[in-house]
């Protein structure tokens, strides 16, 4: 996961072109320069120098995404100078007595989790993986699962951000709480965040239970049973159903079983064993019943050594009001099955559905924002992820599968008030964005104040959010 950063550093050392790629190398860009300032003062100095030039600036983390959200504008596509910026050197860490921490933007989630363990602390909420940069994870809406658990960004109580002029702005829940709702999930459009203050909690154990479930092609029945299971378990992920590609028949075959995992508090304090069992992290022969216990972070989040697959795959992830769970799951599955003829002749292997639940929040650009929900909605969102895995790393298969991922949005977004994860094949649809994110106009006002020359935007952000002033400025 760190290879793209290494490549950039090597390019910088030898003076060649400066390329950036995401983790599976199908998304990338080329800038004029790559810089990694030593501290916040260096970041501010750089921005002040580049503001009169209207240079284009994109901060990159670890590239753990599927879309163009963090892509720079390639130097051949603009007459402006294009910079890639890494904040990897900003490694401040302060632990406060009120169970909050202040961290620099250079921390990766994995390293920060291990540092917190030394102080008997852990995050309240985490995503399923921990390979991301901490600010990148927060800024894009990374989340775990739980009907009483919100996304990682809701843990942010304050942050420091530099605007395009290099001026520092402190945003916190006491002095400017409303603005904090915009900056928590900022999509990289509001400036360079140099540090964040987050809520944490004393470390405790969780019990993780995994149960085998039976599959059926009666999808209405299947998903009704899963909806009932979510009524029993607050913090649950369903790993399935699973489909295998039949190369001879050129068709998908449903596997007879799949599994669900749920987490709950426990008084257990003995041997930690979730991370010792790689099946607990989705690796190996996982379709079996088991129970494990571990410290919170290791019980719910997969460390890098527990990631068993790094092949190319396409992925969508949509958020929708939980009340639509059965209809969404059924109709998305039927729609996917209807795409099968378009997948013939490619290097398909598996297709995996994954379901989670998430408490809604008030961050302006959160895919789980509650601003347009009605009185009939609970404020809890279902989350549906579909992964198309490949037998080998084959570019044609990857691009073919990615091509029709956007069609799920076209088919269902308006019907179910569904929202795409910002960093997982989110299609351009500014009209729907305005409907799904009612606070978008307020967000764009802050964006214009923070970035008057459109230096932090790119084509994805302009098209997604409908930032028309930047379309002409960037000549898109």
> Can you spell out the DSSP letters for 122-139?
EESS--SB--SBHHHHHH
Percent residues over pLDDT 90 in the chain: 76
Peptide bond into 241 cis (omega under 30): yes
> What angle, rounded to 10 degrees, do the helices at 325-338 and 219-232 form?
140
* C-alpha closest to that of 460 among 429, 420, 414, 421: 429
Give 95-107 pLDDT, tens digit per residue: 999 999 999 999 9
| Predicted pLDDT at 307 | 62
Count Cβ atoms below 10 Å from residue 289 Cβ, excluding itself: 9
Q: Helix %, strand %, coil % for the chain, to 5? A: 30, 30, 40
> pLDDT digit string (tens) for 12-48?
444 456 888 888 888 889 999 999 999 999 999 999 9
Give tens-digit pLDDT for 238-252: 999 999 999 999 999
Separation CA 436–CA 443 (nearest Å): 13
Q: pLDDT band for position 397 (50/70/90)?
A: very high
Q: Which of 192, 152, 141 is nearest to 422 (CA)?
A: 141
pTM: predicted TM-score of the whole model, two decimal places? 0.93
**Window from 278-292, 372-386, 427-441 with minimum mean pLDDT:** 278-292
pLDDT of residue 4: 42
Distance of alpha carbon 395 from alpha carbon 314, whole angstroms: 11
Q: What per-residue confidence (pLDDT) applies to 282?
A: 65
* Average pLDDT, integer, range 61-78: 85
User: Looking at residue 306, what is its pLDDT?
Assistant: 59
Average pLDDT value for residue range 200-213? 95
- The sign of the CA dihedral 428, 434, 435, 437 is positive
Q: Which residues of 241-266 are buried (b: 16+ CB within 10 A; e: fewer)?
A: bbbebeeeeebbebeeebbbbbbeee
Q: Check residues 4 and 286 and name the one with the higher pLDDT.
A: 286
Widest distance between CA atoms in the chain: 63
- Token representation of residue 190: 């509001």
Q: What does the pLDDT look like over 268-308, one tens digit per residue?
A: 989 888 877 767 666 777 889 999 999 999 899 877 665 66
Q: How far is CA 194 from the centre of its chain?
A: 19
DSSP bridge pairs for 311: none
Asked if 56 and 75 count as a contact pair (C-beta separation under 8 A), the reply is: no
Task: Please give the backbone phi and psi of residue 206, each rounded to the nearest 5 degrees, phi first.
Answer: -125, 150
């Amino acid at each position: 996961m760190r290879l793209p950063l290494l490549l950039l550093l090597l390019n910088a050392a030898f003076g060649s072109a400066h390329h950036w790629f995401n983790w599976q190398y199908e998304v990338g860009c080329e800038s004029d320069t790559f810089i990694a300032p030593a501290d916040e003062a260096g970041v501010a100095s750089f921005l002040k120098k580049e503001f009169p030039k209207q240079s284009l600036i994109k901060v990159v983390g670890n590239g753990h995404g599927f879309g163009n959200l963090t892509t720079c504008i390639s130097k051949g596509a603009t007459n402006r100078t294009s910079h890639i910026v890494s904040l990897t050197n900003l490694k401040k860490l302060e632990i406060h007595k009120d169970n909050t921490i202040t961290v620099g933007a250079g921390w990766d989630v994995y390293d920060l989790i291990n540092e917190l363990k030394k102080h008997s602390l852990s995050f309240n909420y985490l995503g399923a993986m921990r390979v991301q940069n901490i600010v990148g994870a927060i800024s894009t809406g990374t989340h775990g699962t739980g009907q009483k658990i919100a996304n990682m960004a809701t843990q942010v109580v304050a942050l420091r951000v530099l605007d395009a002029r290099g001026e520092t702005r402190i945003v916190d829940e006491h002095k400017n709480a409303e603005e904090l709702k915009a900056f928590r999930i900022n999509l990289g459009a509001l400036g360079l965040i140099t540090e964040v203050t987050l809520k944490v909690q004393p470390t405790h154990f969780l019990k993780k239970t995994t149960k085998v479930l039976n599959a059926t092609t009666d999808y209405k029945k299947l998903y009704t049973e899963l909806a009932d299971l979510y009524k029993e378990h607050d913090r649950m992920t369903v790993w399935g159903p699973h489909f295998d590609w039949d190369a001879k028949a050129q068709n998908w075959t449903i596997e007879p079983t799949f599994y669900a995992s749920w987490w709950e508090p426990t008084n257990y304090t003995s041997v930690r064993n979730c991370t010792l069992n790689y099946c607990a992290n989705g690796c190996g022969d996982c379709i079996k019943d088991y129970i494990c216990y571990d410290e919170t972070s290791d019980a719910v989040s997969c460390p890098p050594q527990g990631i068993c697959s790094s092949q190319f795959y396409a992925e969508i992830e949509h958020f929708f009001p939980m009340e639509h769970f059965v209809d969404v799951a059924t109709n998305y599955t039927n729609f996917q099955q209807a795409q099968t003829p378009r997948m013939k002749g490619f290097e398909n292997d598996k297709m995996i559905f994954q379901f989670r639940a998430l408490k809604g929040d008030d961050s302006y650009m959160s895919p789980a924002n509650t601003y347009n929900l009605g009185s009939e909605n609970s404020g809890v969102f279902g989350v549906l992820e579909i992964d198309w895995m490949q037998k080998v790393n084959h570019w044609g298969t990857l691009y073919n599968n990615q091509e029709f991922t956007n069609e799920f949005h076209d088919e269902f977004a308006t019907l179910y008030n569904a929202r795409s994860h910002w960093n997982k094949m989110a299609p351009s649809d500014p009209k729907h964005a305005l409907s799904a994110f009612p606070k978008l106009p307020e967000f764009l006002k802050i964006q214009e104040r923070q970035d008057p020359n459109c230096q932090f935007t790119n084509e994805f952000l302009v098209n997604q959010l409908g930032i028309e002033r930047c379309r002409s400025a960037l000549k898109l």
